Amino acid sequence: MPKTIAIDARIINSTTGRYVERLLHYLEQIDHDNTYLILVPTKDLNFYKPTNPNFTVHAADFANYSFAEQTAFKTFLDDLHADLVHFCMPQQPVGYTGKHVTTVHDLILLNTYNSDKNWLVFHAKQLIGRFVFKQVGQKSDHIFVPTNYVKTKFAQFAGIDPAKITVTPEGCDIGEVEPQEYTPLVGKQFITYVGQQSDYKNIKRLMQAHQQLRRTNRELLLVLIGKLSGKNGVPLVRNKQWAEKQRFEGIVYTDFLPDAQMRWCLAHAQAYVFPSLMEGFGLPALEAMASGAPVVASSATCIPEVCGDAAEYFDPLNVDDMAAAITRVITNKNRQQELIAKGAARAATFSWQRMAEQTHTVYLQVLTD
């Protein structure tokens, strides 16, 4: 008998939303039997448009980590009478007692502080987060995580059996995008980084390492790709202002770039540098590999698990070690070509479709338990 599955997709139009969008895209192809209710904020009702008639989009305006999320959202879900709810992030009404599964992407909220946030508000959110994450681990019927690293850490934090957790690695499909030339960088030598710049992303140390590299190569640019406006742009602007106070030179800020131009930048970079102190998966490194960039990466948390032998590693807390690792790659054409070849092969082993298939299999298991 067909079942009704609700997917909490309130984060669909955010940085982590790529996971939700790809999950829905492939679930539409996989499942033509069950009914899916996709829950999004009113502002995003037209962001995702199903092609499978079994999938319908519904407004759910409940802010993350809010009182309304714990009360009104629970009532909303109770009234849906879904056979299964998939919360695509840990934030959820902890009092919900229906069958449900949860995706835990990382434990970054619990282990970091971003200086661009209000200290009191952030730490209050962190305290709430610690309570919610633990409840999620204990009350969800099953947990999805993107890496074994997160599986181990979350099982320890929540005090649950690791067998309750399934690793569903993310995919990488930027290689399907046709590159489009980004004129300001044509003919330039550069290393690059793509993405937001919260403190744990470790961009200030990358800037310092780049300045060391410029002592021997004044032509080498550091290209930072990411939005300079909106909430996610705040830390990037702060880092830009900090670098200007240090009188750092040779740093280029592109602002937001569409995938086609971003892929061109990656393909023409001497190296993509991924200096993060903490990740749950590390998709940007894979996208760089799929685009033809040699990757130089932090050895922290799950990054070696995802990148394997297709990256040159460094200690992310050591600026000298970071600069040395970048130098080993950009001054050695053989090493560059080796990393490009290994990177392309590594990125090809990850699949959004396989992630959706694994997720769907767990849905069916939970529904029959």
Going from the C-alpha of 116 to that of each of 14, 105, 254, 291, the distances in angstroms are 18, 22, 21, 31
Give the per-residue pLDDT at 131.
86
Give the per-residue pLDDT at 113.
63
C-alpha dihedral sign at 265, 271, 277, 278: positive
For the stretch 55-64, contacts whose Cβ atoms lie closer than 8 Å and that sit 24 or more positions apart, written own/partner, are: 55/24, 55/27, 55/28, 60/8, 60/10, 62/10, 64/10, 64/11, 64/89, 64/91
Give the per-residue pLDDT at 79.
96
* Cβ(169)–Cβ(145) below 8 Å: no
* Cβ(109)–Cβ(130) below 8 Å: no
Relative to beta strand 55-59, strand 84-87 is: unpaired
Q: What is the DSSP string of 283-335?
A: HHHHHHHHTT--EEEE-STTHHHHHTTSEEEE-TT-HHHHHHHHHHHHT-HHH
Coil, strand or helix at 37: strand
Rg of the chain's alpha carbons, rounded to an integer?
21
Give the per-residue pLDDT at 116.
63
d(CA 177, CA 262): 10
Give the per-residue pLDDT at 65.
79
Give the chain's domains with CATH numbers: 4-170+351-368 (3.40.50.2000), 174-347 (3.40.50.2000)
pLDDT in tens, the chain (369 residues): 899 999 999 999 988 899 999 999 999 999 999 999 999 999 999 999 999 999 999 999 999 878 899 999 999 999 999 999 999 999 999 999 999 999 999 999 888 766 666 667 776 777 877 888 999 999 999 999 999 999 999 999 999 999 999 999 999 988 778 999 999 999 999 999 999 899 999 999 999 999 999 999 999 999 999 998 887 788 999 999 999 999 999 999 999 999 999 999 999 999 999 999 999 999 999 999 999 999 999 999 999 999 999 999 999 999 999 999 999 999 999 999 999 999 999 999 999 999 999 999 999 999 998
